[in-house]
């Protein structure tokens, strides 16, 4: 692992490290059937919701990959960003 450490003027330091996911991580599970919790057939409502989901997933991917700058991203961070993109922030109202 070649992750350079950055030394800050105050003497503290940081680095970004990449670690393999645990062998039992959810990403390794077989795909199987989709969960379909909002099962909606054809029609305008499906089109509108699908577009909103696409926008939320784009938001999640941008957040987890630092807008495409990071190729080695955390799938759990991606998931959390998609949830925020769909439902809002983890606050009482979902807003800031």
What confidence tens digit (pLDDT) does each residue in 10-31 have?
A: 999 988 788 899 999 999 999 8
Q: Are 18 and 1 in contact (CB under 8 A)?
A: yes
User: CA-CA distances (angstroms) from residue 56 to 21, 36, 41, 42?
Assistant: 24, 17, 21, 21
Identify the burial level of 61 via C-beta atoms within 10 angstroms of its C-beta, where 0-12 means exposed, 13-18 middle and 19 or more buried. middle
Closest to 4 (Cα-Cα) out of 13, 43, 47, 21? 13
Is 0.85 topped by the overall pTM?
A: no
Which uninterrupted H or E stretch holds 13? strand 13-14
pLDDT tens digits, the chain, 96 residues: what are they? 456 899 999 999 988 788 899 999 999 999 888 888 889 999 999 999 999 999 999 999 999 999 999 888 889 999 999 999 999 998 999 998
CA distance 25 to 21: 6
Hey, where are the domains in the chain?
38-90
């Amino acid at each position: 692992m070649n992750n350079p450490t950055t030394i800050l003027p105050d003497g503290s330091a940081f680095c970004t490290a990449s670690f393999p996911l645990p062998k039992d991580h959810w990403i390794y599970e077989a795909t199987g059937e989709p969960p379909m919790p909002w099962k909606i057939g054809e029609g305008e409502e499906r089109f509108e919701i699908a577009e909103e989901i696409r926008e939320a997933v784009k938001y999640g991917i941008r957040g987890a990959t630092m807008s495409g700058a990071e190729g080695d991203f955390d799938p759990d961070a991606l998931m959390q960003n998609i949830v925020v993109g769909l439902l809002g922030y983890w606050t009482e109202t979902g807003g800031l």
